[in-house]
Amino acid sequence: MARALITGITGQDGQHLAEFLHGKGYEIFGVVKGQNNPRAQQIREEFPFVEVLSGDLTDLPSLVSCLETAQPTEVYNLGAISFVHFSWTQAELTANTTGLGVLRMLEAIRMVGGQQNNPIRFYQASSSEMFGKVREVPQSELTPFHPRSPYGCAKVFGHDITVNYRESYGLYACSGILFNHEGPRRGLEFVTRKISNAVARIKLGVQSDISLGNLDAKRDWGYAGDYVKAMWLMLQQNEPDDYVVATGETHSIEEFLELAFAEVGIADWHPYVKQDPRFFRPAEVDLLIGDPTKAREKLGWKPEVDFPGLVRMMVRHDLAVESAKLSK
């Protein structure tokens, strides 16, 4: 039976991936950090088919122990400090977790899987943030990196060390360069969910406005449920490789606001949106738009949910959640 070990199981992608792999009949092990992580219980309740293991990307022995217990055929390294703005606040922690954490997992795989014909297939969650101040439009697997945040720098290290271990040790190691992907499981700190949640609360009269930073930034936004399928497909190929996963469309924060407010019948969003210097970044990534040609041609992958569908899904979800809270 196929066995998957997932770091970042308590995050957005970890939950989608666990659901997806469960549907494919995998035995699933999820790594949870901390001595009493409150999100571990949520995983046990919502995903009873996941065996929760204790581990931390900053602690090599714990990763070895997780691998020894799970004996996985596939490892998905989704764990990271993933909030770009936060990475300026705790840059060293970000480098240690998001960057060096990848190296630790690769070393753990070498230790447990053996040096020759290592049977463990490895997926690294690389990011379009690595393109940063973009050198070309759209961005493909061949576009040079120019990260703009401690997070982006850490992801470049994680990406490069994954490629290096593949080339040095013949590991089956893939890196998915995923562009922004969202959905109802997105953390409230990220701009899309912050907006969908606020729009729902404004519609219900429990919040008056929303404070945001730079509204001009453009992102290639897709649906997380579509993107975890691409992760899995990468590990089912004959040869390991790196792939851009994106929709090939870009939209501004203002466009997201427009659609989100329209979904609850508010035609003009401007009176509800304030700008606050706290939410601007020391260095911004102005424009991201991916070229997913390779993923489409070699993996047969394409996104199912489009931009209006994504905004609608998130706003409707948050409206239902916030309404339920009010009726309690």
Name the residues annotated as catalytic: 127, 129, 151
Pairing mode, strands 74-77 and 3-7: parallel
Site string for ligand NAP, 65-94 (x = CB under 6 A): -------------xxxxx------------
Q: Which of residues 77-96 bind ligand G4F (CB under 6 A)?
A: 82, 84-85
Would you tell me how many other CB atoms lie within 10 Å of the CB of residue 249?
A: 17
For position 37 contacting ligand NAP by CB under 6 A, the verdict is: yes
**Residue 3, exposed/middle/buried by CB under 10 A (0-12, 13-18, 19+)?**
middle
For position 7 contacting ligand NAP by CB under 6 A, the verdict is: yes
The rounded distance, in Å, linking the Cα atoms of 80 and 232 is 19
| Least distance from ligand G4F to the Cβ atom of residue 136, Å | 16
Side chain identity, residue 253: I
| Least distance from ligand G4F to the Cβ atom of residue 26, Å | 24
Beta strand segments in the chain, E: 3-7, 27-32, 50-54, 74-77, 121-127, 172-178, 181-182, 210-212, 218-219, 222-223, 242-245, 251-252, 273-275
- Among the listed residues 187, 216, 321, 323, the single contact to ligand NAP using CB under 6 A: 187
Per partner kind, with CB cut-offs from 5 to 8 A, the member of ligand NAP, ligand G4F, none near residue 187 is ligand NAP
Tokens of 150: 């401690």
Count of positions (residues) in the chain:
328
- Among the listed residues 214, 237, 252, 293, the single contact to ligand G4F using CB under 6 A: 214
Q: Which stretch binds ligand G4F (CB under 6 A): 164-172, 183-191, 227-235, 298-306?
A: 183-191
For position 264 contacting ligand G4F by CB under 6 A, the verdict is: no
For position 219 contacting ligand G4F by CB under 6 A, the verdict is: yes
The rounded distance, in Å, linking the Cα atoms of 134 and 217 is 13
In three state form, how does the secondary structure of 29-70 look? EEEECCCCCHHHHHHHHHCCCEEEEECCCCCHHHHHHHHHHH
Site string for ligand G4F, 221-250 (x = CB under 6 A): ------------------------------
Q: Which residue's CB atom is positioned nearest to ligand NAP?
A: 11
- Give residues with Cβ within 8 angstroms of 146, minimum separation 6: 131, 132, 133, 134, 135
Please say whether the beta carbons of 248 and 138 come within 8 A: yes
For position 194 contacting ligand G4F by CB under 6 A, the verdict is: yes
**Residues that bind ligand NAP in the complex, under the rule CB under 6 A:** 7-8, 10-14, 31, 33, 37, 39, 56-58, 78-82, 97, 125, 127, 178, 180-181, 187
Binding site for ligand G4F (CB under 6 A): 82, 84-85, 127-129, 179-180, 189-192, 194, 212-214, 217, 219, 253, 279, 281, 284-285, 288
